[in-house]
Amino acid sequence: MKKVDISILVGSNSDLNLIQETITILKEFGLSYSLNIASAHRTTDHLKQCIEGAISAGVKVFVAVAGMSAALPGVIASQTILPVIGVPVDGKSLSGLDSLFSIAQMPKGVPVATVAVGKAGAVNAAILAVQILAINNNNLKEKLKRYKVKIANIVVKEDLKLQKDGIDKYLKRSAK
């Protein structure tokens, strides 16, 4: 059986584009992952099999992407003692607020770490998973330090361009 660091579960195939952001970060850090589509409402037996399979493969963290009622992260958290990170989908009807509130409002004793709605949440879920794994992994700690420096340098570089060009020229160039 293949060893897996992080199990990613999405509630439907429409969430796969969003989770690509998470996968990109996990690959950057050299972490293994599994990816499954499983609905908390429509495929309860399949979901349970996915959770059990991930645990058997040595998973240490679950990332669950869900929209609307966003039950998926909570159901996973009810089935394991491992950390679960919920990523709310930015839905059509309530712009992801329904998902955000559903994931954040877990009953006591069934925690789910909740990140931002949409793309930022997908990236932050990956980083949070890496941070959890880095607690006992000095190699990941060093990679995280380099990653933080890299993203800080991007902001400083953009500020230098803004200072050089002024806001009008900067915005025109950014719009392209």
Number of residues in the chain: 176
Total domains present in the chain: 2
Q: How far apart are CA 160 and CA 30, in angstroms?
A: 32
Q: How confident is the model over 113-168, as pLDDT tens digits?
A: 999 999 999 999 999 999 999 999 999 999 999 999 999 999 999 999 999 999 99
Q: Are residues 88 and 156 in the same domain?
A: no
CB-CB contact of 113 with 127 (8 Å):
no
pTM of the model: 0.92
Is 1 a domain residue? no
Q: Are residues 52 and 85 in the same domain?
A: yes
Q: What is the CATH number of the domain that holds 17?
A: 3.40.50.1970
CB-CB contact of 149 with 157 (8 Å):
no
Which residue's structure tokens are 């992801």? 96
Strand positions, DSSP E, the chain: 6-10, 33-37, 61-66, 84-88, 113-114
Q: How confident is the model over 74-123, as pLDDT tens digits?
A: 999 999 999 999 999 997 778 888 899 999 999 999 999 999 999 999 99
Is 52 a domain residue? yes
Closest CA to 106 of 135, 120, 85, 125: 85
Q: Are residues 142 and 132 in the same domain?
A: no
